[in-house]
């Protein structure tokens, strides 16, 4: 084998079966080696930000590392935003970054850059392989690092001459660390807090605690202790619907989030980070923990938070049923022209069983958590790091990880334009992804922020308006090989979504919702593409 062949063989033997890529010359030997390692699925994307986001979505659903192949420092830079989201999600991922041959670096060729410091901003493990004999071993180490209990990105930088060198052998898998159990002293401390010490305790859930087991244990604890239960603002993956306990998420606006936490004398962090505001604002504290409130950490990132929650529930809530389940029947469809008030209900009425829902709806998605709690069972993936442009790639990766499950993406128009190239990959791979693009003709979330600064003028508002010309997502979808329709009412959206999830392959629904008056005049004519009835 050459180095590239040995590395791909090592990835497969270590449990990595997919590589998302937008390769260049320095990675061409990896492309050539794909034919020799058919167990590794190569997935072509048209932009590195799609590749990194798709690897994130794949790993979140498959619960094992995906790999991504990037072209030197600029390719890594193009993929950095969605690597940031994956880092915040605790996603296991192996990032392979090609670079110049070791003896070529001294020439400072145009694509030469200092890759390691850039990769270090989003990676828990970074290594550059300096010799062919080390490549396969380094690859096995990268997979083991990515599979660790906290889930992290492991970046391996591979010079071109290391990849093309002959006589390299693959390496056996390396055992990954498993989550450590929470120590008895920590369990006893939180038991005492919830049973005796706290008058108004709050249990804040995040990370692995948001699977069905963790949510049920939290529901039992709420039933027995009366503790308030909240979920982190942007979960990486959360089970919901059916009879799974549903709890409110920490609000995005600082004032609303502060109100949720005010009055609690103890907060127990169960897989969640310390609660802070998303941004700094004048006269608002960034720390959301009330001044007179104490914080207990149930589990560190490398500890088994689910087992800890179940142990607490067995001690404090024997015989108690989970409280928080909200589902009784599928929500009734909403009606009328689409707006924030009826959008969530229109989607929830058509949500298929056991769907994967990717939420980057932004301002239009405020009602989704409540609407989906009353719907069928599903897994929810959100924008963990706040870098928009995640939805389309994450949905692409999720569909590849679970080809037997429908994927529904709720995507804001501004966010969609960051990684619209993902539609092409969905069409190329024949993925069952239904994308609902919410077209309101603006960066609406930033408009509300702008209004909070003071009365903005025309020039300021122009910087947040997606007009002149308006975006035509049905045409963009058609240009990438994806079928698309337009809707303007809640009834049309429910009908179109039911139809789309029943058909194979990718589909896109362009949903016009509460546009500004200026945006309404610049939106494409609804007669330029087929409507929901196919005409």
Q: Tell me the CA distances in angstroms from 411 to 10, 73, 317, 395, one per residue in order.
A: 36, 29, 40, 10
pLDDT at 323: 67
pLDDT at 461: 82
**Residue 442 · residue 406 · CB < 8 Å:** no
pLDDT at 10: 98
> Tokens for 184?
């008895």
Phi, psi of 269 (to 5 degrees): -90, 115
**Do β-strands 238-240 and 378-382 pair in parallel, antiparallel, or remain unpaired?**
antiparallel
- Determine the Cα–Cα distance for residues 429 and 408; give it in Å rounded to an integer: 16
Give just the sign of the alpha carbon dihedral 69, 33, 111, 114: positive
Rg (C-alpha) for the chain, rounded Å, is 24
Beta bridge partners of 229: 203
The Cα angle at residue 331 between residues 328 and 334, in degrees rounded to 5: 160
- Determine the Cα–Cα distance for residues 255 and 136; give it in Å rounded to an integer: 51
Q: Hey, is 206 helix, strand or coil?
A: coil
pLDDT at 392: 98
Is the pTM higher than 0.85? The answer reads: yes
pLDDT at 153: 97
- Determine the Cα–Cα distance for residues 252 and 240; give it in Å rounded to an integer: 20
- Determine the Cα–Cα distance for residues 445 and 435; give it in Å rounded to an integer: 20
- Determine the Cα–Cα distance for residues 191 and 213; give it in Å rounded to an integer: 19
> Tokens for 2?
């050459």
CA neighbours closer than 13 Å in the CB half-sphere of residue 232: 30
> Tokens for 463?
């910087």
* 3-state class percentages of the chain: helix first, strand second, coil last, to nearest 5: 40, 20, 40
Contacts of residue 525, defined as CB under 8 A and 6 or more positions apart, other chains included, come to none
Phi, psi of 158 (to 5 degrees): -120, 110
Q: What is the pLDDT along the chain (535 residues), one digit of tens a residue?
A: 999 999 999 999 999 999 999 999 999 999 999 999 999 999 999 999 999 999 999 999 999 999 999 999 999 999 999 999 999 999 999 999 999 999 999 999 999 999 999 999 999 999 999 999 999 999 999 999 999 887 799 999 999 999 999 999 999 999 988 889 999 999 999 999 999 998 999 999 999 999 999 999 999 999 999 999 999 999 999 999 888 999 999 999 899 999 999 999 999 999 999 999 998 888 789 999 999 999 999 998 889 999 999 999 999 999 888 865 555 567 788 899 999 999 999 999 999 999 999 999 988 888 899 888 878 999 999 999 999 999 999 999 999 999 999 999 999 999 999 999 999 999 999 999 999 999 988 777 787 787 878 888 888 888 887 788 889 999 999 999 999 999 999 999 999 999 999 999 999 999 998 754 433 333 333 333 333 433 3
The Cα angle at residue 37 between residues 33 and 41, in degrees rounded to 5: 100
pLDDT at 467: 81
- Is there a cis peptide before residue 469, judged by omega within 30 degrees of 0? yes
Beta bridge partners of 531: 486
């Amino acid at each position: 084998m050459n180095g590239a062949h040995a590395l791909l063989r090592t990835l497969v033997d270590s449990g990595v079966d997919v590589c998302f890529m937008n390769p260049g010359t320095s990675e061409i030997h990896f492309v050539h080696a794909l034919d020799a390692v058919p167990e590794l699925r190569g997935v072509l994307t048209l932009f590195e930000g799609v590749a990194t986001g798709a690897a994130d979505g794949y790993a979140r659903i498959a619960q094992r590392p995906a790999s991504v192949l990037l072209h030197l420092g600029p390719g890594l830079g193009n993929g950095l935003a969605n690597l940031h989201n994956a880092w915040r999600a605790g996603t296991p991922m192996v990032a392979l970054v090609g670079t110049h041959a070791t003896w070529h670096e001294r020439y400072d060729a145009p694509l030469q850059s200092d890759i390691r410091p850039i990769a270090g901003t989003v990676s828990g493990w970074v290594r550059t392989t300096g010799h062919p004999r080390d490549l396969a071993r380094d690859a096995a180490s990268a997979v083991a690092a990515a599979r660790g209990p906290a889930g992290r990105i492991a970046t391996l930088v591979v010079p071109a001459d290391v990849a093309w060198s002959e006589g390299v052998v693959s390496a056996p898998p390396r055992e990954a660390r498993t989550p450590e159990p929470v120590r008895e002293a920590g369990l006893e401390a939180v038991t005492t807090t919830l049973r005796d010490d706290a008058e108004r305790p709050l249990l804040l859930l995040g990370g692995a605690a948001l699977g069905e087991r963790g949510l049920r244990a939290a529901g039992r604890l709420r039933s027995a202790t009366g503790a308030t239960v909240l979920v982190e603002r942007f979960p990486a993956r959360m089970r919901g619907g059916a009879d799974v306990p549903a709890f409110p998420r920490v609000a995005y606006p600082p004032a609303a989030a502060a109100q949720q936490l005010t009055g609690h004398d103890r907060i127990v962090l169960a897989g969640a980070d310390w609660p802070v505001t998303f941004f700094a604002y004048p006269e608002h504290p960034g720390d959301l923990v009330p001044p007179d409130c104490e914080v207990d950490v149930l589990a560190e990132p490398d500890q088994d938070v689910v087992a800890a929650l179940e142990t607490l529930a067995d001690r404090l809530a024997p015989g108690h049923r989970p409280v928080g389940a909200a589902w009784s029947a599928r929500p009734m469809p909403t009606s009328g022209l689409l707006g924030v008030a009826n959008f969530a209900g229109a989607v929830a009425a058509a949500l298929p069983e056991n769907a994967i829902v990717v939420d980057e709806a932004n301002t239009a998605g405020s009602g989704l958590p409540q609407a989906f709690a009353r719907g069928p069972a599903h897994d929810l993936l959100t924008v963990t790091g706040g870098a928009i442009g995640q939805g389309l790639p994450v949905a692409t990766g999720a569909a590849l990880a679970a080809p037997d499950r429908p994927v529904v993406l709720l995507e804001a128009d501004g966010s969609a334009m960051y990684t619209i190239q993902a539609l092409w990959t969905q069409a190329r791979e024949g993925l069952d992804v239904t994308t609902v693009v919410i077209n309101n003709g603006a960066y609406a979330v930033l408009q509300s922020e702008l209004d909070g600064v003071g009365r903005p003028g025309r020039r300021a508002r122009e910087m947040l308006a997606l007009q002149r010309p308006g975006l035509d997502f049905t045409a963009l979808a058609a240009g990438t090989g994806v079928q698309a329709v337009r809707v303007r009412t809640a009834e049309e959206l429910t009908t179109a979504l039911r139809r789309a999830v029943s058909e194979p392959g990718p589909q896109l629904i362009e949903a016009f919702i509460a546009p500004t008056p200026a945006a309404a005049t610049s939106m494409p004519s609804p007669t330029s593409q087929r409507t929901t009835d196919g005409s």
